[in-house]
Chain A
Amino acid sequence: MLTLPLPPRRVHLQAFALALGISAGLALGGLLALVWSATGAVVGLGLGLLAGAAALGAEPLRGAYLGWARLSTLYARAVRLSMKALCFLILAVAARRGGAALTLAHPNLRSLWTPRPATAAGASRHARRGWKGAYAAWALASPSRWWALGLLPFLLVLAAADTDAEAALPSDTYTLF
């Protein structure tokens, strides 16, 4: 999850101040370690933590939090778009190399909806594994699907770029919303 919880509670604002301090401290520490010495990393991190602690009660913190949340939501949207494009590309290449044509519309213009026979048998087992386990199990079940494992890292990034509102939707239901 790369977005911040909305609306923020006081504890989120405090955690955000510390998180910014730690992030800035890590960056500064890394820079100091490169140009100075290893001690610089500790100094940088310490300065960042101090800045974060000093910002705990700052009035503009809420505005900064909301601004950061807006930026991260925009970024999450860009990540989702690019990851979906990438997955689609891999899928198209794999499908073509596997000898399948990518059908975007049924020749008879009927619904492409098909039953999911595997669900009834494996639903409870897959539900216990979560979607990642269920996907990996499906991909490993047949050598012709091993290519699908290559998609998994991108799907993980895609899932991590979900916002809270999207993550609130149930993920393993066989239902049209």
Chain B
Amino acid sequence: MIRALVALVLTLAGLLLAAVVLLLGSPFWLVAALTRTLAARLSPPVLGWRQLFAFDPALGWRAKPNLDCRCVDQWGDVFHVVTDQHGWPGRRGLEECRIVVFGDSHAFGYGVDHAAAFPQLCPEARVKAVGVPGYNLVQELLLMEQLAPRLAGKLVVWLVYVGNDLHESLSPEMSGYRTPFVRRLEGGAAWEIVREHLSPATWRASDSLRSRNWYATLAALHRDTFLAERAYSACAFLLDAGARLSRQAGFSLAVMTVPAPLALAGPEAEGPGWRYRAVMDPELPDRRIRAICDDLGLPFVPLMKRLSLADYKRQDDHWTEDGHRRVAAVLAELPAALAAAPAPAPAAPAAPPAAVPVAG
């Protein structure tokens, strides 16, 4: 009898405890249930970022044509992607544009909704972006060559992202995707473009050599190092090829550098990789590329002074919507600024039109 009574009291106490615990936590249950339900309702169907691309035998990869979809990036952010019939961002045709911007994911507008990317923010400037995430300078040059007959009379802006365009132009692969690259010809200063290895197969040969520390590579590009010497030499070769192409095809070429967010942070900044900031010369890439542009007679537009750390996403090195607004403002005023500036003259006499040396 006593045992049964104790059991009953204990059970009732347990039930009371459960009721109190559940009552106290009812806001948590309600908010969690509503959040999960509403998030499921608010989320449109999305593509993973890898599903945006298709193999391209000349360039390694390109974005799929006629996309109008949501894409989820590596960090879980979802954004609206629109591409034209060639896979370039936006629906605007090349012919109706005054300014054509070649570049990588920054030009593609990766990470922000299509409507918030810079080409849509300066309609009066009629900007067409021709860019694909992950492209290096070699791919951008090859693409410029492909489109050269349609660029005559236009202002072409070549976005050079210091964060990865420079050193990835020296690499045969990007995260396992085979990519055109440049290598030094035997004996010296000349470079050649290599693309005989391009195929849809994953590149495994560099698995053990691939740098696992992007910050160290970035720091090396901001100092006088062996890597920097090679990267800026290759960059000079590629910009020279671009300058020749512009003269040959009759378009104006300007070079616009995009700083890595780490270079925009103060030396006292904290965060992953920030210890490399202390050994970096943030102005070095712009100095080196400006010197190259001066030699080639190309206008040089550094974004270093126009962007701040707040214009980049917190978790990666793409621009926020504010960053795109700033770049749109620079592009909108660029034709007038270039017209007002004295015409740059190449240091060396104009070389005869020459095809870019291409292997493969």
Name A's B-contacting residues (CB within 8 A): 1-5, 7-12, 14-16, 18-20, 22-23, 26, 68, 71-72, 75-76, 78-79, 82-83, 85-86, 89-90, 93, 96-97, 154, 157, 160
Contacts and interface: CB of A to CB of B under 8 A. Distances in A.
Nearest to A21: B34
Interface string B62-76: 000000000010011
A107 B3 CA distance: 26
A115 to B, nearest CB: 32
Chain B interface helix/strand/loop/mixed: helix
Contacts of B30: 19, 23, 26
Contacts of A83: 18
Given A18-B34, A19-B34, A90 B43 contact: no
Interface residues of B, number: 32
Contact of B34 (A10, A15, A85): A15
- Interface centre among B15, B30, B34, by most chain A C-beta atoms within 10 angstroms, is B34
Nearest to B13: A89
Contact of B38 (A2, A3, A18, A72): A18
A79 B76 contact: no
Contacts, number: 96
Contacts of A11: 39, 42-43, 78
Nearest to B44: A11
Interface stretch (B21-29, B131-139, B160-168): B21-29
Nearest to A65: B35
Contact of A2 (B14, B18, B25, B43): B25
B36 A5 contact: yes
A15 B42 contact: yes
A9 B78 contact: yes
B17 A23 contact: no
A26 B30 CA distance: 10
Contacts of A15: 34-39, 42
Given A3-B32, A7-B75, A160-B29, 15 more contacts: A5-B35, A7-B76, A12-B35, A14-B38, A14-B39, A15-B35, A15-B36, A18-B38, A19-B38, A23-B31, A68-B31, A71-B28, A78-B21, A79-B25, A89-B10
10 contacts: A1-B33, A2-B29, A5-B39, A11-B39, A14-B42, A15-B39, A19-B30, A23-B30, A75-B24, A75-B28
Given A2-B25, A2-B28, A11-B42, A93 B11 contact: yes
Contacts of A19: 30-31, 34-35, 38
Contact of B35 (A16, A85, A89): A16
B359 interface: no
Contacts of A18: 34, 38
Given A71-B28, A75-B25, A86-B17, A9 B76 contact: yes
Contacts of A90: 11, 14
B337 interface: no
Report, nearest first, the 9 A-B pairs whose CB atoms are least far apart.
A19-B34, A15-B38, A15-B39, A9-B76, A19-B35, A72-B28, A86-B14, A2-B32, A15-B35
Contacts of B72: 9
A14 to B, nearest CB: 6
Given A10-B78, A86-B18, A90-B11, A22 B32 contact: no
Interface string B176-210: 00000000000000000000000000000000000
B325 to A, nearest CB: 16
A5 B34 CA distance: 12
A9 B14 contact: no
Contacts of B38: 14-15, 18-19
